[in-house]
Structure 1
Amino acid sequence: MLTDLSGWTVAAVVVLGVLSVAGGIAVFVVDSMARATFALLASFLAVAGVLLAFDLVYLAVVTALMMTIEMAIMAVFMIMFMMNPAGLMPMTMVHNARGSAVTGAVTFVVLVVGIWTVDWPIGRTERPEDSTRQLGEAIMGSHMLVMLVIGIGLFATILAGTVLATARGRYDRFGADLAAKRPDDPIPGGLPR
């Protein structure tokens, strides 16, 4: 398959692969859950770019859309509910750092060696006219309508949960013009503005 690709495509795959790995590493290096969320989003978007370079447009678009929406929702929830969303206090997301690094490095080397040394078969069949439709039917089958309805229901549930969790917004706290010097909170505290 790699012999069928142009030099620009191979270069794009290499650059996007490096960006994806760098984004994945950044998730564990940054000291903020919000930054970690967007680093993970950058990593997934680089993977979507790799899929696009391989001319897998449907999978690339689905990956980009799904991960963008998922990470945006996750960032909102992180900022709302985490104790340290902006990295104001030191934190670490790494546990068993040495063992994790060794396991990750060994797995990476094994996968790279496997990818470059396996004699991959060359596809001799012609592409179907509408591969996107065939892939969708193979993944979902007769359950596509159900999955669409469930997706809308889950999104509505997330929105409702967010609205119910935030009974008081910034306009309740700082006034209609956001000009109050101190927030009108039931329990005083927090950092000065």
Structure 2
Amino acid sequence: MLTDLSGWVIATVAVLGLLSVASGVAVFVVDSMARATFALLGSFLAVAGVLLAFDLVYLAVVTALMMTIEMAIMAVFMVMFMMNPAGLMPMTMVHNPKGSAVVGAGAFVVLTVGIWTIDWPARRGQLPTDSTRQLGEAVMGSHMLVMLIVGIGLFATILAGTVLATARGRYDRFGADLAARRPDDPVPGGLPR
């Protein structure tokens, strides 16, 4: 397989692969949720770059868009709901560090050995005229309608959860015309005005 790739593709994949692994390690090294979120985003964007180098444009775009939106939503929820400001306060990101390091290193070794020792299958048949359509049919098959409904249901759940979690908004706190000098909070606190 490597003989079919040009030198710049191999170099690009190597650099992006190292960047992805380094960003993945940073997720467990940094000391806050917000920094870990953006390190994870960097790792996924590097993987999207690898897919792009292999000319898998559809998968690269889907990976980049999906991960960027997911990490942005995580960051927004951290700002809204975490006790410390935006998850920037120091905290440990690893539980059972020795056990997780052993499991992670073992999985890495097994996957690496598998990648380099297994014979990859040779291509059979002809290239499809529309690889995106073929991929969609292979992944989704006849379940597209179900997945569309599930997607709408998940989006509605996110919205409903946000509405239920924030029972009081700015109009409840500062009045209908937002003219109150102090918020009408059930528990006093917050910043002085």
Superposed CA deviations along residues 132-186 of structure 1, whole A, max 9, x for unmatched, are 111111221222123113212321331232233224446776899x9x9976643
Q: Which runs of 5+ in 2 are unaligned?
A: none
Shift of the alpha carbon at 1:9? Answer: 0.7
Residue of structure 1 equivalent to 2:130: 130
Aligned-residue identity in percent? 86
Residue of structure 2 equivalent to 1:93: 93
Shift of the alpha carbon at 1:188? Answer: 2.6
Residue of structure 1 equivalent to 2:161: 161
Q: TM-score, normalised by structure 2?
A: 0.82
Shift of the alpha carbon at 1:3? Answer: 1.4
- CA contact under 8 A between 2:48 and 2:63: conserved in structure 1? yes
CA 1:29 to 1:169, structure 2 compared with 1: closer, same or farther past 3 Å? Answer: farther
Residue of structure 2 equivalent to 1:118: 118
CA 1:4 to 1:170, structure 2 compared with 1: closer, same or farther past 3 Å? Answer: farther
Distance 2:22 2:184 in 1: 43
What is the 5 A alignment of 1:19-168?
19-84=19-84, 86-87=86-87, 89-168=89-168
CA 1:10 to 1:191, structure 2 compared with 1: closer, same or farther past 3 Å? Answer: farther
Distance 2:60 2:157 in 1: 27
Distance 1:4 1:91 in 2: 46
* One-letter amino acid of the counterpart of residue 8, structure 2: W
* One-letter amino acid of the counterpart of residue 31, structure 1: D
Q: TM-score, normalised by structure 1?
A: 0.82
Residue of structure 1 equivalent to 2:7: 7
Distance 1:74 1:86 in 2: 10
Distance 1:12 1:181 in 2: 57
Q: Secondary structure at the match of 1:106?
A: helix
- CA contact under 8 A between 1:38 and 1:71: conserved in structure 2? yes
Distance 1:66 1:53 in 2: 19
CA 1:85 to 1:12, structure 2 compared with 1: closer, same or farther past 3 Å? Answer: farther
Q: Aligned residues, how many?
A: 193
Distance 1:33 1:175 in 2: 34
